[in-house]
Amino acid sequence: MLSDAFLARLDAFALRAGRAATGGAGGMRRSKALGSSAEFSDFREYVAGDDIRHIDWNAFARFDRLFLKLFMEEKQQRLNLILDASASMGFGKWQAAVQLCQALGYVGLCGGDSVVLYTLSGNGVHSSQTLSGRYSYARLAALVEQTQPHGSVKLDTVVPRLLLPQGQGICFLISDLLCEDGYEKALSSLLYRKQEVTLVQLWSREELEPTMEGTAELIDSENGQKLTLNASYDTLKRYRETARTYVQQAQRFCHARGITHAFVVPETAFEEQMLRVLCNAGLIA
Amino acid sequence: MEWLQPAGAWAFIAIVPVILLYLLHKRVRQKPVPSLLLWRKTQMDEVHSRLLLHFRNQLLMWLQLLMIAVLAISLMHPATGGKAQQESVWIFDLSASMQTLDTHGISRMRRAQEAARKQLDSMPVGEKLTILTASAAVEQPLTRSDDRAEARRQLSTLVAQNGSSDLAGALALAQAMQRELAGVQITVFSDNASLSALPKIGVVGVGESMPNQAILDVTVQPESGTAFAQIRNDGPAVETALECHAEGVLCDLRTVSLEAHAQTSVRFAVPKGTQEVCVRFAQPDALQADDTRYGLAPRQNRHTALLVTDGNVFLQHALALDPLMTVDLAAPSDAQETATYDLYVYDGCLPEKLPQSGAVFAIDPDGEVFGIQPAETVSQAQGVRAAAGETARALCENLLLDEIAIKETRVLNGGTAVLQTNEGAVLSVYETQTHRVAVLGFDLHRSNLPLKADFPVLIQNLLKYLLPDSTASVAQAACGEEVALHADVRAQQVWVRTPSGKMIPVKDGYLRDTNEIGIYALIEQYADGAERETRFTLHIPTAESAVNEEAVSADVQYEAKTAYGLRDWSTYLLMLLFVLVLVEWEVSRRGT
């Protein structure tokens, strides 16, 4: 659970969405529809049937023509938080994933967006109810806290089958992308479903730079498979190169498709780090 | 390639525990990981064989094994090259004076060993060393060896003996090597003060000037119950106590005031009839080997003689002058006597078969006697005189040989002439393995010799020769010397019992194991089982007691030190080992 002080700091931030919100109930997010908000958008000449309350009388005095002031319509945005809860997420990064999920949800809820949480684990897919309003944060936080990493998750299979609401939305996928079957289809399916996708790739320091020596028998946390190897200096060096390449591939894939990619290696004081990462990645402002 | 210290190969044993440690402690550790995805994508060393698991790519282990191998090889001191070798010959004086203790209680021998070890430590690698020891005989315990461990071992075994040292013989041997081999340096470790003047010979003088009192001689007079000891003081005036033991029992104690560098006699009262006396200083001094001396009562060996004659009063009385001699008479017809005598005297006759043992004195024989052949007869022989030679001089001792007339004699061929005329030898002696023989070429009744005072003297001299005291030659002998023992030829077995009780068989008439100080016993065993025991004493040479003169060291500057030893690679190997240690540390630091 995020601290109250940190939540107070998050109040000053809002989710940044590249596309205007469409559909949904009225909210605090600007939409392409012109509405009755206080924010000015444009002028146009008056035609019959327009609301005379929006006529700019000052312009009529200067130009002797009737102009109508147009205002932005503010609508509610859908925020989909997809949390990878496979067993591999339990190695030094689960707490960070939970906090990240809570922070994004809190910012979304405070911004008037509706939030849906999807947790993907070996037990299947669990989705929350649509949450909205600041008061729903406690529920969201509890849902995330109750989730425990377990089993293996095939992103390419599970994510395309998620029951996302119709229309555009903001989608955050929080995962380590350590899936045998890949993650590309999952991300592509989200794009196809008009989601503004952000991938937060979480890795622990041990995954990036493992420390071991001598002969070791590695056990896969998700499927229990074993691999005996001689953890020589060269082997570890090659592993680090492989890991960096894997991350770069994910970055290139996301960049090519307009997906925001944030690679996070959690540190001890993760709240500060999280704030810095989300700002730098342009996810919140 | 040579190995200067092959014993260093024992260090290879360290390889075994290293391998065992890796076998026992390098077990496979299980480590859960989030996913094997990235590990599988990595081109890595996957291990399939558990047997090779412990060794393959264990860089640390191979480095450590290599370090052990390099260390072991460096300890073995591998050496290459080497052309002309520098050589050293060390001569150690093992005389009795090397037992002298200095003011710190350390013997001169130990000082010499310490000095030698220091020189050995600084000796260039590859230099060959020969060690000669000079005691009564010269020995060579180490010959041209560059094995330093062996040299140290030989040094540690050196012990000062109780005799004198044949330094001249050792120096002659060393100088012979110096002449034959290039670059030989001779160093003498000795307390002998006269060595420093020797040319081309280095001297390591050991020991400091020490005062010393020595017992030079002990005599016993059993009839009067008296013993005398002769004492010499090499040092300042001192008062010392002397103990006298008779037959192992303390019987007298005297306190003697000794003048500086003076000699004196001390008289002790011992029980009458005492045969063995031991005199010793109550308090030991610098040289303890001369603080005790043994004395024995004069020997009284009885002899038997068979005189075969038709009647010769002169000869009979001359033989009987020795109170320890028992003379039996026999007629020529009984010349073939079967009884065993020490001496057979044949006067004008010879038996058909000469006796198998015992001495023979033949007078005017008519045939050959053990190699001495009577030749032509000479009448009116004049000018009887002693022949040349040591034997003749000893046998003619105290003889006047004045106006001796011989009516008729036969010239003798063979043997050693003792008395001779102008025509040839008239008295000859000869010694075989089993007999001592004397032959007189004329009939005593046909000369005036029996009427002369020379006759009994000549007969006694002949008896001394024919019946020698078996230990007579021991009287002047000292420890370390080769002692000649004239054992009875009739004895079937002869031993010498040393003071420590060791029985040494005497085969060629010489006793060589004479390092012990004390009372020896010559034991002669005869065919009938009877034994005769003759005792004698051996002590350190009196010259060894003079230890108040300090030896001087002398260094020798050799002209050409052009010899080069072997190149020892151990230093370079140790440097390599250091590099390996650094590499091993780096590998260990960053992990395998």
**Tens-digit pLDDT profile for residues B312-343:** 889 999 998 888 888 988 888 887 766 678 88
How buried is residue B93: exposed, middle or buried, by Cβ count under 10 Å (0-12/13-18/19+)?
Answer: buried
pLDDT at residue B562, rounded to an integer? 40
Span B567-582, pLDDT tens digits: 778 889 999 999 999 9
pLDDT at residue B378, rounded to an integer? 83
pLDDT at residue B338, rounded to an integer? 64
Measure the CA–CA gap between A151 and A158, rounded to whole angstroms.
14
How many helices (DSSP H) and strands (DSSP E) are in chain A? 9, 11
Q: Which residues of A touch B (CB under 8 A)?
A: 87-91, 176, 178-180, 204, 207, 210-222, 225, 227-236, 238-239, 242-243, 246
Measure the CA–CA gap between A233 and A225, rounded to whole angstroms.
23
As a whole-number percent, the residues of chain B with pLDDT over 90 amount to 33
Span B159-173, pLDDT tens digits: 999 998 888 899 999
* Relative orientation angle of helices B108-121 and B148-156, to the nearest 10 degrees: 170
Measure the CA–CA gap between B403 and B380, rounded to whole angstroms.
12
Does residue B181 contact residue B87 with C-beta atoms inside 8 Å? yes
Measure the CA–CA gap between B7 and B523, rounded to whole angstroms.
49
Measure the CA–CA gap between B482 and B321, rounded to whole angstroms.
34
Residue with tokens 């005989």: B137
The average pLDDT across B363-388 equals 87
N-terminal to C-terminal alpha carbon distance within chain B: 36
Least confidently predicted of A8-12, B229-233, B489-493: B489-493
Question: Closest residue of A to B59, CA-based?
Answer: A232
Kind and range of the H or E element at B85? none
Q: Which residues, including other chains, have CB under 8 Å from residue B399's CB and lie 6 or more apart?
A: B386, B454, B457, B458, B461
pLDDT at residue A32, rounded to an integer? 45
Does residue B281 contact residue B215 with C-beta atoms inside 8 Å? yes
Span A73-109, pLDDT tens digits: 545 678 899 999 999 999 889 999 999 999 999 988 8
The average pLDDT across A202-208 equals 90
Chain B residues in contact with A212 (beta carbon < 8 A): 29, 31
As a whole-number percent, the residues of chain A with pLDDT over 70 amount to 88
* Relative orientation angle of helices B15-25 and B59-75, to the nearest 10 degrees: 170
Does residue B483 contact residue B458 with C-beta atoms inside 8 Å? no
**Contact status of B51 with chain A (Cβ, < 8 Å):** no
Chain A residues in contact with B40 (beta carbon < 8 A): 227
> Which of these, B418, B507, B508, lies nearest to B464 by C-alpha position?
B418
**Yes or no, beta carbons of A88 and B44 under 8 Å apart:** no
* Shortest Cα distance, chain B CAs vs residue A163, angstroms: 28
Measuring CA to CA, how many Å separate B295 from each of B214, B292, B298, B475?
A: 15, 10, 9, 11
Q: Which of A178, A214, A233 sits opposite B34 (nearest CB)?
A: A178
pLDDT at residue B438, rounded to an integer? 94
pLDDT at residue A68, rounded to an integer? 81
Please give the residue that has the higher pLDDT: either B83 or B441: B441
Output the six-digit token pair for A11: 């109040």
**Yes or no, beta carbons of B38 and A178 under 8 Å apart:** yes
* Shortest Cα distance, chain A CAs vs residue B26, angstroms: 8
pLDDT at residue A31, rounded to an integer? 43
Judged against a pLDDT cut of 60, whether residue B83 lies above it is answered with no
pLDDT at residue B506, rounded to an integer? 87
Chain A residues in contact with B583 (beta carbon < 8 A): none
Q: Which of A84, A207, A208, A220 to mutate to test the interface with B (most CBs of B within 10 A)?
A: A220
pLDDT at residue B215, rounded to an integer? 92
Q: Which residues, including other chains, have CB under 8 Å from residue B506's CB and lie 6 or more apart?
A: B485, B487, B494, B495, B496, B522
pLDDT at residue B71, rounded to an integer? 92
pLDDT at residue B54, rounded to an integer? 53
Measure the CA–CA gap between B74 and A131, rounded to whole angstroms.
79
**Contact status of B38 with chain A (Cβ, < 8 Å):** yes
Does residue A12 contact residue A285 with C-beta atoms inside 8 Å? no
Measure the CA–CA gap between B16 and B227, rounded to whole angstroms.
72
* b (16+ CB within 10 A) / e for A138-155: ebbbebbeebebbbbbbb
Q: Which residues, including other chains, have CB under 8 Å from residue A141's CB and lie 6 or more apart?
A: A1, A2, A102, A105, A106
Span B97-148, pLDDT tens digits: 999 998 888 999 999 999 999 888 888 777 889 999 998 889 999 998 888 8
**Yes or no, beta carbons of B41 and A242 under 8 Å apart:** yes
How many helices (DSSP H) and strands (DSSP E) are in chain B? 11, 32
Give the helix, strand, coil percentages of chain A, each rounded to 5: 35, 30, 30
Does residue A18 contact residue A259 with C-beta atoms inside 8 Å? no
Chain A residues in contact with B31 (beta carbon < 8 A): 212, 216-219
pLDDT at residue B56, rounded to an integer? 54
* b (16+ CB within 10 A) / e for A236-269: bebbeebbeebbeebbebbeeeebbbbbbbbeee
Measure the CA–CA gap between A159 and A174, rounded to whole angstroms.
12
**Yes or no, beta carbons of B592 and A213 under 8 Å apart:** yes
Strand ranges, E, within A47-180: 67-75, 78-84, 114-121, 124-127, 131-132, 169-175
Span B236-288, pLDDT tens digits: 999 999 999 999 899 999 999 989 888 999 999 999 989 899 999 998 888 99
Judged against a pLDDT cut of 80, whether residue A208 lies above it is answered with yes
Least confidently predicted of A231-235, B341-345, B518-522: A231-235
β-bridge mates for residue A170, sequence order: A79, A196
User: pLDDT band at residue B557, thresholds of 50, 70 and 90?
Assistant: low
Residue B149 amino acid letter: A
Measure the CA–CA gap between A74 and B338, rounded to whole angstroms.
162
Q: Strand order in B493-497's β-sheet?
A: B503-505, B493-497, B518-525, B531-538
**Yes or no, beta carbons of A220 and B47 under 8 Å apart:** no
What 3-state DSSP class applies to B498?
coil
Judged against a pLDDT cut of 70, whether residue A25 lies above it is answered with no
Residue with tokens 């050693």: B416
Judged against a pLDDT cut of 80, whether residue B540 lies above it is answered with yes
Judged against a pLDDT cut of 90, whether residue B30 lies above it is answered with no
**Yes or no, beta carbons of A218 and B41 under 8 Å apart:** no
Kind and range of the H or E element at B312? none
Judged against a pLDDT cut of 80, whether residue B293 lies above it is answered with yes
* Relative orientation angle of helices B313-320 and B454-466, to the nearest 10 degrees: 60
Judged against a pLDDT cut of 90, whether residue A272 lies above it is answered with no
pLDDT at residue B559, rounded to an integer? 44
Span B399-453, pLDDT tens digits: 888 888 888 899 999 999 999 988 889 999 998 777 789 999 999 888 999 998 9
pLDDT at residue A145, rounded to an integer? 92
As a whole-number percent, the residues of chain B with pLDDT over 70 amount to 92
Chain A residues in contact with B28 (beta carbon < 8 A): 215-217, 228
Residue B52 amino acid letter: L
pLDDT at residue B337, rounded to an integer? 62
Across B361-370, B476-485, B555-564, the highest mean pLDDT is recorded for B361-370
Does residue B412 contact residue B439 with C-beta atoms inside 8 Å? yes
User: pLDDT band at residue A27, thresholds of 50, 70 and 90?
Assistant: very low
**Yes or no, beta carbons of B57 and A242 under 8 Å apart:** no
Q: Which residues, including other chains, have CB under 8 Å from residue B420's CB and lie 6 or more apart?
A: B384, B385, B386, B387, B426, B427
Instruction: Tally the C-alpha atoms within 13 A of residue A273's C-alpha that lie toward its C-beta.
Output: 14
A110: DSSP letter: H
User: pLDDT band at residue A16, thresholds of 50, 70 and 90?
Assistant: low
Judged against a pLDDT cut of 60, whether residue B558 lies above it is answered with no
Output the six-digit token pair for B467: 């019946």
Judged against a pLDDT cut of 60, whether residue A155 lies above it is answered with yes
The alpha carbon dihedral of B174, B176, B178, B181 has a sign of: negative
B97: DSSP letter: G
* Shortest Cα distance, chain B CAs vs residue A236, angstroms: 8
> Which of these, A241, A212, A218, A204, lies nearest to B590 by C-alpha position?
A212
What 3-state DSSP class applies to B77?
coil
Output the six-digit token pair for B361: 């004195």
**Contact status of B579 with chain A (Cβ, < 8 Å):** no
* Relative orientation angle of helices B570-590 and B59-75, to the nearest 10 degrees: 160
Please give the residue that has the higher pLDDT: either B479 or A281: B479
pLDDT at residue A18, rounded to an integer? 52
Q: Give me the helices (H) in chain A, please.
A: 4-10, 57-63, 94-110, 137-146, 155-158, 184-192, 205-208, 233-256, 270-280
* b (16+ CB within 10 A) / e for B548-570: beebeebeeeeeeeebebbebbb
> Which of these, B35, B154, B171, lies nearest to A239 by C-alpha position?
B35
